[in-house]
């Protein structure tokens, strides 16, 4: 039997943002069973909280319905908020497959209103399958070069000329699923306000309402292509077309030659608590 909490992440109201199931005491649950539980929960990600091994506060394993991820954004932030909601902690360090992720909290009246995580700095390169990607999206080009970033998951970025064009996208999900190990992020906007849509059939997610792991690299992508500035905080809306609006904030510090820090911020609302009753197979 395992206790779990469901939180809607990157949202300040229930039934919006991106839900994550957080299993609070997962010690003793084997990885194969974690994967089966994640499939049963049928959310984009489910996390399992374990004792720390490398000096952090907890260790976290993250599963989609089809595979384990070394790092993901909304599950990490959501797990941190769920854990901190039962304490007065101002910071927690979560050990992930990509290393320690510090998360700090801002509170009003004891309630967390903002959590900010320091993300792994990604590697990046031009996306090798750009023509196939654009064809699957029904597009002929991108407003800026299509690059792929990896900070755990791999994310590719396609620029659209405006919000209307972004909302009108109807991608070929079967064709996208043939692109190996990539979340496809389509973005539009200007200045400090942007909107993103993430299609991830390779990760078992046809469309994601809030993708924290993509928010940091998007800020970097915008800075590298001079659509936003290093050191500037941008707002990223996602999930609008799905009826689950979310809001993320991202900031990258440094330069093209030396990225120093990537932070992504948002909030979360706890919407359910439960017990998982199924016994592990013998």
**Active site residue ranges:** 45
Which string of DSSP letters, residue by residue, matches 216-261?
HHHHHHHHHTTSS-TT-EEEEEE-GGGT--EEEEEEEEE-SS-EEE
Tell me which H or E stretch contains 173: helix 173-177
SS3 83: helix
Cross-strand bridge partners of residue 47: 22, 62
DSSP class of residue 28 equals T
Q: How far, rounded to the nearest angstrom, does the alpha carbon of residue 189 sit from its chain's CA centroid?
A: 20
What percent of the chain is helix, strand and coil (3-state, nearest 5)?
20, 40, 35
Pairing of strands 2-9, 233-238: unpaired
Residues 149, 151: Cα–Cα separation, whole Å? 7
Could you tell me the two tokens for 128?
A: 């090798």
CA distance 23 to 282: 21
């Amino acid at each position: 039997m395992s206790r779990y909490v469901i939180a809607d992440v990157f949202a300040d109201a229930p039934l919006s943002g991106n839900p994550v199931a957080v299993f609070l005491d997962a010690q003793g649950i084997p990885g194969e069973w974690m994967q089966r539980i994640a499939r049963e929960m049928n959310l984009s990600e489910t996390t399992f909280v374990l004792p720390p091994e490398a000096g952090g506060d907890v260790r976290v394993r993250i599963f989609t319905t089809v595979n384990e991820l070394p790092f993901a954004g909304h599950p990490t932030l959501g797990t941190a908020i769920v854990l901190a909601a039962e304490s007065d902690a101002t910071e927690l360090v979560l050990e992930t497959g990509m290393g320690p992720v510090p998360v700090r909290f801002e509170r009003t009246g004891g309630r967390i209103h903002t959590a900010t995580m320091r993300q792994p700095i990604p590697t990046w390169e031009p996306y090798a399958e750009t023509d196939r990607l654009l064809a699957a999206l029904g597009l002929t080009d991108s407003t800026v070069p299509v690059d792929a970033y990896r900070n755990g998951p791999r994310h590719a970025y396609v620029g659209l000329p405006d919000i209307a064009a972004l909302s009108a996208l109807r991608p070929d999900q079967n064709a996208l699923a043939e692109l190996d190990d990539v979340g496809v992020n389509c973005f539009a906007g200007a200045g400090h306000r942007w909107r993103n849509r993430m299609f991830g059939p390779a990760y078992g997610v046809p469309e994601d309402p809030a993708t924290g792991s993509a928010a940091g690299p998007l800020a970097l992508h915008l800075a590298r292509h001079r659509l936003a500035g290093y050191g500037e905080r941008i707002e990223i809306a996602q999930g609008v077309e799905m009826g689950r609006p979310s809001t993320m904030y991202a900031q990258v510090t440094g330069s093209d030659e030396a990225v120093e820090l990537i932070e992504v911020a948002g909030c979360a609302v706890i919407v359910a608590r439960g017990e998982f009753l199924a016994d592990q197979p013998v």
